[in-house]
Amino acid sequence: MSVAATAKGAGTRAIVSWALFDFAGAPFTTLVVTFIYATYFTQAIAAEAIHGTVLWSRGVSFTALLVALCSPLLGALADRGGYRKRILAVTTLVCAAGSAALYWVLPGQVLRALACVVVANIAFEFAAVFNNAFLPDIAPRVRAMHFMLQREVVERMVAKHSTPEYGRLSVALQARFAMKKLFNVGSGAFRPPPKVDSAVVRLEPLAQPLAVNEDLLRKAFSARRKTLRNALPGLDFAAAGIDGGLRPENLSPADYARLSMNSIL
C-alpha cells in the first residue's frame, strides 16, 4: 500500500512544531516515569524497595485515572473557548516545574517526591492531550492511496452499476472515492506463487463524498435478485426519482445517495 498526502490548511512550521513538542516530551516518560527516577525513588528515597514500588505504582495509577476522567471535559472546554494553546503552555510549564523540583528531594522525603512526580505527570499527560488535539488541523490530507489486492476484489471495487461485479462494496467505496484499476499483477510475480492473481487500484478521496445509508445498502444487496420495491418495501421511490422496478445492482452510488435522503430505515 502507498499513500500520497498533501498538507492543506497547515504550513510546515506548524507540523514541525507539533513534531518537536512530541519529541521533546519523550524524555520525561523515559527518564522520570519509567526508568531512571522510578528506580531512584524505590532504591534511595523510599525506606525499602518493595514499599517504594507500591507507592510509585499507586501514584502512576492515580495520574492515569485523573487524566482519563478530566481529559474529555478539559478538551471540550478548550475547543469551545479556543484555549488549547494557552492550556498547552500552562501544562508544559507545570510539568517542567514539577520535574525540576525533584532535584531538591532528599532520601526519605517520599511524599514530597510523589507529589512532584504526580503533579508533573498529570501536567505532562494533559499537555499530550492538547498537543494531539492539534492533529486534525495540521495533519496532511490524503490525496491518493494505492492498494494491491486480489484481482476479483479490485474488480468489485471499481465495477460499474448494472454489471455482475457491482455490489455493496462498489457503492460504499465509490460514494467516497474516485477509483481506477491500474494494472494486473500475475501470480508469477510472487514466490511462492499464490493461486490467485492480483491488481493495483488507485483511490482518490472525493471532495464531496456521497451520503449513503449503510442499512439501506445492506438490505438492498441482501436481496439483489429482487426488485427495489420488494427488497426495500415501504420506501417512496417516486420521491427520489427512482424506478422501483429496477434491481439493486442497477442503481449508481448517486442514486443510492438520493434514495438515502428520502428514506428512514
Burial 164-178 (b: 16+ CB within 10 A, else e): ebbbbebbbbbbbbe
Peptide bond into 192 cis (omega under 30): yes
Query: Residue 84 carries which side chain, given as an amino acid letter?
Result: R
Number of H helices and E strands in the chain, helices first, is: 11, 4
Cβ neighbours of residue 183 closer than 8 Å, sequence gap 6 or more: 199, 200
Among the four given CATH numbers 1.10.8.100, 1.10.3470.10, 1.10.3080.10, 1.10.10.10, the one describing domain 141-261: 1.10.8.100
CB of 22 within 8 A of CB of 87? Answer: no
- The per-residue pLDDT string of the chain (265 residues; one tens digit each, 9 = 90 and over) reads 555 554 454 578 888 888 899 899 999 999 999 999 999 999 999 999 999 999 999 999 999 999 999 888 887 777 776 788 888 899 999 999 999 999 999 999 999 999 999 999 999 999 988 888 888 777 777 889 999 999 999 999 999 999 999 999 999 999 999 999 999 999 999 999 999 999 999 999 998 999 999 999 999 999 889 999 999 988 888 888 899 999 999 999 999 999 988 765 4
Q: What is the pLDDT of residue 7?
A: 45
3-state secondary structure (DSSP) of residue 161: coil
Sequence length of the chain is 265
